[in-house]
Amino acid sequence: MADRSEPTESDVAADGDASAGPEGDADDSDHLADVEDGAGCTEIWEHLSERREAEREKPKRNETNREETEANETTRSE
């Protein structure tokens, strides 16, 4: 039986790459930088969900701040 630790020609043909190292740029995994090594799927999923929620909240906060600023400027100019 063949040792499967090294990619075979069929693996290379199917995957298109024979490198054993991580693929892509370092930027591809920046969103996981604060996830602990060895984290499972659930921990990663929770981390990404929390991050998405925080990103959704940012525009709402900025819009609220903009409306408050405009209201204050209108009040001052009167």
pLDDT in tens, 5-21: 665 665 555 555 555 55
pLDDT given at position 14: 55
Report if residue 66 sits inside a domain. Answer: yes
For the cut 70, the answer to whether the pLDDT of residue 4 exceeds it is no
pLDDT given at position 33: 83
DSSP at 21: S
Report if residue 65 sits inside a domain. Answer: yes
Report if residue 48 sits inside a domain. Answer: yes
Report if residue 21 sits inside a domain. Answer: no
Report if residue 68 sits inside a domain. Answer: yes
pLDDT given at position 67: 73
User: Could you report the per-residue pLDDT of 19-68, keeping only the tens digit for each?
Assistant: 555 565 666 778 888 888 889 999 999 999 999 998 888 776 666 677 77
pLDDT given at position 42: 93
Query: To which residue do tokens 């991580």 refer?
Result: 22
Report if residue 25 sits inside a domain. Answer: no
DSSP string, 8-74: -HHHHHHHS----S--S-GGGGGGGTTSPTT--HHHHHHHHHHHHHHHHHHHHHHHHHHHHHHHHHH
